[in-house]
Structure 1
Amino acid sequence: MPKKLIIICLINFLIAALMGLALRYSFLESIGLNYRFLTHAHSHVAMLGWMYLMLYTFIVHYFIPDKKSIYNKLFWVTEIAVVGMMLSFPVQGYAAVSITFSTLHIFCSYYFVSLVWKHHKVTSATSQLLLKAALIFMLISTVGVWCLGPAVGLLGQASAFYQIAIQFFLHFQFNGWFLIAVLALLFHILKIEDSRRFKNFFKLLVVSTVLTFALPVQWFAPHPILIYINVFGVLLQLITLYLFLKLIKLELNNALKTQSKLIVTLYYFSVFCFILKTLLQGVTLIPEFSEAVFMHRNFVIGFIHLVMLGVITGFLFAFLFSKQNSSVLLKLGLYCFLSGFVLTEVILLIQGCRFYLGMGLISNYYLLLFLFSVLLPLGILLILLHVGKTKGKRIYM
């Protein structure tokens, strides 16, 4: 895998993390930037500059044997779109320039899907099904983006239509495209064979991903039937988790026998976060907790970071460094990143519970949250330095 592409993805991730750090600092001192605009920049760069482009690079590496030059060119055009959003969102939020670059990114993603669909060669039926499902969910998610314009024009940004359109995009990006693409890579790396158990897992995964969208819809357009749909979806998700663990247990244990302690930690940490993510969705079966999640922002941010940093980024780092020599920089970087993630998740959870119970703020809460958050960009920087110092123009996986 070309080293320069990995470096670009990590730089995007570092910038997104620094934006997140600035957001946390803004509760201590004024930063002179619009908080909402910077939030848009942070989320877009993290999702599209880090996760999207890293998955792009992995998919081309593993599933496109004939590396046509168009993939390299498309990567750089997509990166231009990311940089455009990186620079325009903090200044103007959703406006002409940022929307132009967002639209460019969407069209790049459409072209990427068409290229991968045409050129991919996957020997494993399991990876092929998961890859195609991930790509389809990516396409589906963009329907939410196209609905934003009509939603604002017809009903305004405060409308349920507008909010549901945003949730549609986020739900199918995270739970559809990003998560299932990571599973496609994991099943490919572990060489998970096709079986009746896998077919059941795959069907339940797809159906539960669709059905659990009922929860965010319920937040903005309450209806009793949506509660039942979400309950059914979450129950299917719990069964899916059980099948997932049964499918990977033997192969994962065998694969990790020859890996360093660092990589073993990354894999098990990512699997644990995936289990936790599914169990937390199970908690939404209790209506009172479902409402609490919506009412308290700490829970929402914590859950998004659990999926993005714990599950998806955890697996991406495990894939990326499984055949790398564990340098001091890499070890420090990864453990620093994981520590920052765990500490920020814990304090967000504790404060969310305190808000829910009406107990007020933890002493020096915003300062502690900022200090713990420093570990995230610091860890990414150390990882970036490790990759930069790696000899040669390619990273072998």
Structure 2
Amino acid sequence: MSRTLWLKFSVFNFVLVALLGVIMRYKILFSLPFLDQKHLQEAHSHFAFYGWITNVLYVLMVIYLSKVRPEISLRKYNILIITNIIASYAMIATFIYGGYFWGSIAASTVALLTSFAFTFFFVIDVKNLREASKKWFLGGLFFAVISSAGVFNLAYMKSSGNITQDLYLASEYFFLHFQYNGFFIFACIGLLLYSLKEEGSLISEKENKLMFWLMFFGCLIGFGLSVLWLKLSMPVFALIILASLAQTYGAVMLFRIVRRSWTHLILKWSAVQRFVLIFAGFAFAVKILLQLASNVPAISQFAFGFRNVVIAYLHLVLLMCIATYLLSQVLATNFFIISRSLITGLKLFLAGIFLNELMLGMMGVFSIKYIAVPYANHFLLVFSVLIFVALFIIFVSMKKRQEA
């Protein structure tokens, strides 16, 4: 398949993620007795991670490779992308059918082993490359690999029936943390830095190295923020605080790099593309601030004690920040005609995400006093339909440029 088809297929997978989200929201309000909500949730989250985000990152990273190492063969990556897609669709079917059982565990294992193979080949192909984004892609893939420990432990506990609540939650958060704070965020930063480089905005090796290690250390140790309820010792807690401060400073460095590059972006990027970067950047800034605030035990207990807060935070990071930025990266490849209908779809998508996050945030805040927001689930259903329709408009509007 050509790069344009891979990218368009990735967006189609995003449409499916949104459709699963609509079904889940519908089932909260109305009866769908033939579908299990827990199984739907597991299918939705696994396909969002592997069918959409991981898949599009693979494709964008392969496009990056084709630019910096045009002499290498990409055939092995095409095979791995196809394998990941097959495993992702198998996850939809098996998780909806029976949740965690041998079928869904097998599909998840294939996706994880594919990530190991992708990492292996990518490391070899960029071995002698001197380029700023390289560190970030390798760092992201490192986190993708180690996150698998959480999944394997979850699968073992589910299949054996030997479930310890604390270990189960810790394993779940281990996987989630190193996927979205590790693989997804680091790979997105790699894509951003290369985009800036293409527009003539360079970053020094010293600055890049410092920013990378601050955020790498912050992510690695920062997993502790997800398990503060385990009553960690004071030295460990102090190390976690230091790590979150390091990641915050690394994020500040990244914002400074974007700010000083803004003149180049005004000249080279469209107004919509710049707005999407601000939109995703705002979500990333809120994520960093919330992460820093969670060092306060009372705030941490609140965050993990209310399901609405957890859902709002995950959507903030995965949907408003990562997914939005990746969608903009797909459109910024210049492989597609940026038509009026596509821009309309993108605007509706941003509006749907903002309204969805606003409602989830309100539900989280009001849940402090155990106050229910009137018709909240009805609004969330409407917003999820808006996101689905917007993504469908974007998908059908993605027409290939003749030169692509």
What's the TM-score once normalised by structure 2's chain length?
0.91
Which residue of 1 is the match for residue 59 of structure 2?
A: 57
**How many residues matched?**
391
Structure 1 position 154, deviation (Å) = 7.2
SS of equivalent to 1:248:
helix
Which residue of 2 is the match for residue 299 of structure 1?
A: 309
SS of equivalent to 1:212:
helix
Structure 1 position 161, deviation (Å) = 1.3
Q: Quick one: distance in 2 between partners of 1:256 and 1:73?
A: 38
1:44 to 2:46 alignment:
yes
Counterparts of residues 110-149 of structure 1 (less than 5 Å): 110-120=116-126, 124-149=130-155
Structure 1 position 383, deviation (Å) = 1.0
Structure 1 position 132, deviation (Å) = 1.2
Structure 1 position 156, deviation (Å) = 3.2
Aligned Cα root-mean-square deviation (Å)? 1.9
Query: Contact (CA 8 Å) 2:306, 2:364: kept in 1 or not?
Result: yes
Which residue of 2 is the match for residue 188 of structure 1?
A: 194
Query: Contact (CA 8 Å) 2:293, 2:299: kept in 1 or not?
Result: yes
1:332 to 2:344 alignment:
yes
Instruction: Say which of 292, 315, 326 aligns to 1:282.
Output: 292
Query: Contact (CA 8 Å) 1:85, 1:101: kept in 2 or not?
Result: yes
Which residue of 2 is the match for residue 368 of structure 1?
A: 379
Q: Quick one: distance in 1 between partners of 2:132 and 2:22?
A: 39
Q: Quick one: distance in 2 between partners of 1:309 and 1:122?
A: 34
Structure 1 position 254, deviation (Å) = 1.0
Which residue of 2 is the match for residue 207 of structure 1?
A: 217
Which residue of 2 is the match for residue 342 of structure 1?
A: 354
Q: Quick one: distance in 1 between partners of 2:326 and 2:363?
A: 29
Query: Contact (CA 8 Å) 2:312, 2:360: kept in 1 or not?
Result: yes
One-letter identity of the residue aligned with 1:276? V
1:268 to 2:269 alignment:
no
Q: Deviations over 1:69-121 (max 9, x none)?
A: 22212211211101100111111001111111111111111111111112237
Q: Quick one: distance in 1 between partners of 2:127 and 2:222?
A: 31
One-letter identity of the residue aligned with 2:30? E
Q: Quick one: distance in 2 between partners of 1:260 and 1:121?
A: 34
Q: Quick one: distance in 2 between partners of 1:385 and 1:150?
A: 41
One-letter identity of the residue aligned with 2:331? F
Query: Contact (CA 8 Å) 1:131, 1:184: kept in 2 or not?
Result: yes
Counterparts of residues 34-113 of structure 1 (less than 5 Å): 34-64=36-66, 65=70, 66-113=72-119
Which residue of 2 is the match for residue 235 of structure 1?
A: 245
Structure 1 position 152, deviation (Å) = 4.5
One-letter identity of the residue aligned with 1:56? Y
Structure 1 position 153, deviation (Å) = 6.7
Instruction: Say which of 355, 367, 375 aligns to 1:355.
Output: 367
Structure 1 position 195, deviation (Å) = 3.4
One-letter identity of the residue aligned with 2:232? H
Task: Return closer, same or farther for 1:262/1:122 CA change in 2, 3 Å cut-off.
Answer: farther
Q: Quick one: distance in 1 between partners of 2:127 and 2:216?
A: 22
Which residue of 2 is the match for residue 24 of structure 1?
A: 25
Task: Return closer, same or farther for 1:273/1:124 CA change in 2, 3 Å cut-off.
Answer: farther
Which piece of structure 1 moves more, 323-332 or 306-315?
Answer: 323-332
Q: Quick one: distance in 2 between partners of 1:150 and 1:317?
A: 35
Structure 1 position 10, deviation (Å) = 1.4
1:9 to 2:15 alignment:
no
SS of equivalent to 2:261:
helix
1:377 to 2:388 alignment:
yes
Structure 1 position 325, deviation (Å) = 4.1
Query: Contact (CA 8 Å) 1:209, 1:233: kept in 2 or not?
Result: yes
One-letter identity of the residue aligned with 1:247? I
Q: Give identity over the alignment, percent.
A: 28
Which residue of 2 is the match for residue 309 of structure 1?
A: 319
Q: Quick one: distance in 2 between partners of 1:69 and 1:149?
A: 32
Where does structure 2 lack aligned partners over 5 or more consecutive residues?
A: none
Q: Deviations over 1:50-70 (max 9, x none)?
A: 100100001011124224322
What's the TM-score once normalised by structure 1's chain length?
0.93
Where does structure 1 lack aligned partners over 5 or more consecutive residues?
A: none
Which piece of structure 1 moves more, 138-147 or 172-181?
Answer: 138-147
SS of equivalent to 2:29:
coil
